[in-house]
Structure 1
């Protein structure tokens, strides 16, 4: 869905640049460091395209193999996976994000689960990382309905900082290992001054968004604080105002209305890249960092995105629609499904000019990364796009 765009194009260029979606793709030797600068990358298990959300987000920014993302996450551990919402998150942020999460567990429920938690802890200490799939147990309340008691116990151990997500199985099940093996610094207390200030949550929120109105930043700050700490949006607004007073976040200088905030470090980094030209066509995942604030996406790009994967089939047009980014515009969206070696374009909605060759290159490149050998197009597509986008993927 497209709406009129009234925002300064420089704002869009700034946002895309700081999110790694403008200019040349990241060089392979810089990809891990650049990914950490995003702060968070959302992880999702849906794999209808042959690639998961975080894998598409990685591919939209770099030609480095997707395996390099997993090495960053589970080997080098420059980022660590949090449980819910499921993000790859900068490791140095986690002492502040994860602390106090255990307070969400009721005392009675915790007492009931402790014997099982102790058994699981001993098992991990003796045998190494485990997946919930490794155990059979009774089902208890949890998840979307019920969940295995062992799975719930592992989640409680995570909430209490006893275990961390150490990797994924071939079926993408989480692997849990002891925190002392994965990130022992998480066992140390958070400095009291940092706990009290709350400004870390504002700065981390803006590090993720890169550009935000005060309201958008307050909403993201509340998300970073977490509902279990209390305060909600009113506290987040006060913290944003406090961060502005202290100069920790600043109005972006080329926004005449001074309604958008950014970190000074991002403003400085953009200064030398403002005139950079970009002709790369990119396919973005539904949960990309650019879409973390859907209101901002609409305001800056005139494009309203709806993630329809959980919408009843008869009420949706797309299932896993990928927004198409060209230069500083969202030019459409595409719905693709992988079956065997075929990357099938189910539907395509083009709302602004995009070069056919550039779009074909983006589709075929991502199809190649997904392991497809051929692109086929549904008859829903206009003949121009069907002919121009279909064909054998070259390797």
Structure 2
């Protein structure tokens, strides 16, 4: 059976799946279990992405220490590829990590650095946990750094490769620096085992749970054949919808204002934003200043299920002030909406522990 959704229904499904409706979650683990991934990024114009993402869901009661506790003490979350993920995903991801495709250039680099790889693993096994700076670079050959991410030191490159294949993992962070160890001492050893095909099917279901609604065969939100087929009024494309989201489609809930980090998972699938929300989102962080319309790191403003504005703000840490450079109204605010946005900005300042400058 194919479900036929209106645009309003489609938006409501996505907003609820992303925990951006009025019914806020209560803690970090609940958010991670639903969203499946929380982006880590140090850009701190207002606050690092991982903390803003959690605050925009949980609200005033969220504190940064809660995330650290969930990752490092409770082991309810783990870090991989620049994101925090719930530990419940580990048994679904490990089969893919162990058989993950490797580019030809990476294979050549690994073949030339087989001894280096063994030395890194041996040092972690014997001395870990360790920072990257604790491990000597004994690589025979440097990899091609086209993106400019690594620099000449080959240790970070090797550590990230070993993490992606499930051989090592991040055990904690010291500031923004990752501390590494072998997975046997980081991940639980009593995890259920799944065949790769079964693990992929279950992982697709979890991705769809987080998305609520995804375009079939989307490279941005890959969900395979999870869920049920759907169409959306006015759109020719085919979609997959989470059955549980459909079951709760008619539940009463109020909307609210959400200020979203530019690295929020809600914004990742740009084609879906355009198709369902009529929102063309462009991160202007890497644009020359004269070409920016909304600001270096402007945060989209979601009111209910409509993207109505962009917040250009930054924390002046020296003076402990949140400076609001502009609130761009993509759709003119009604007086009540303006009051709600100002209230959310005030809450943001209170959460950050700074005063909000007049705007």
TM over 0.5: yes
Name which of 127, 144, 162 aligns with 1:157: 162
Q: 1:135 to 1:166 in 2, by over 3 A?
A: same
Structure 1 match to 2:229: 251
When the two structures are superposed, what TM-score results if normalisation uses the length of structure 2? Answer: 0.82
Alpha-carbon distance between aligned partners in 2 of 1:144 and 1:218, rounded to the nearest angstrom? 21
Alpha-carbon distance between aligned partners in 2 of 1:108 and 1:301, rounded to the nearest angstrom? 44
Q: 1:133 to 1:319 in 2, by over 3 A?
A: farther
Structure 2 gaps of 5+ residues are: none
SS at match of 1:60: helix
Q: 1:294 to 1:154 in 2, by over 3 A?
A: same
Q: 1:338 to 1:251 in 2, by over 3 A?
A: same
For residues 103-153 of structure 1, give each alpha carbon's deviation from its aligned partner in whole angstroms, at most 9, with x where no partner exists: 347444224333333333333234332222445648933373324122222
For residues 169-199 of structure 1, give each alpha carbon's deviation from its aligned partner in whole angstroms, at most 9, with x where no partner exists: 21x122211100111559997525537xx53
SS at match of 1:61: helix
C-alpha contact 1:309 1:320 (8 A) present in aligned 2: yes
Structure 1 match to 2:352: 370
Structure 1 match to 2:221: 220
Alpha-carbon distance between aligned partners in 2 of 1:68 and 1:89, rounded to the nearest angstrom? 15
C-alpha contact 1:78 1:90 (8 A) present in aligned 2: yes
Structure 1 gaps of 5+ residues are: 1-5, 225-239, 378-385, 387-395
SS at match of 1:309: coil
Q: How many angstroms does 1:295 deviate by?
A: 1.5
Alpha carbon RMSD of aligned pairs, Å? 3.1
Matched, 1:52 2:48: yes
Alpha-carbon distance between aligned partners in 2 of 1:79 and 1:332, rounded to the nearest angstrom? 32
C-alpha contact 2:279 2:307 (8 A) present in aligned 1: yes
For residues 343-393 of structure 1, give each alpha carbon's deviation from its aligned partner in whole angstroms, at most 9, with x where no partner exists: 11223201232533321221122223333x22225xxxxxxxx2xxxxxxx
Alpha-carbon distance between aligned partners in 2 of 1:285 and 1:36, rounded to the nearest angstrom? 19
Give the structure with the larger helix fraction. Answer: 1
SS at match of 1:299: helix
Q: 1:305 to 1:205 in 2, by over 3 A?
A: same
For residues 223-272 of structure 1, give each alpha carbon's deviation from its aligned partner in whole angstroms, at most 9, with x where no partner exists: x8xxxxxxxxxxxxxxx4xx2xxxx411359969794421212322x246
- Aligned positions of 1:226-265 closer than 5 A: 240=224, 243=225, 248-251=226-229, 259-265=238-244
Q: 1:348 to 1:210 in 2, by over 3 A?
A: same
When the two structures are superposed, what TM-score results if normalisation uses the length of structure 1? Answer: 0.75
Q: 1:254 to 1:301 in 2, by over 3 A?
A: closer
- Tell me how many residue pairs correspond in the alignment: 337
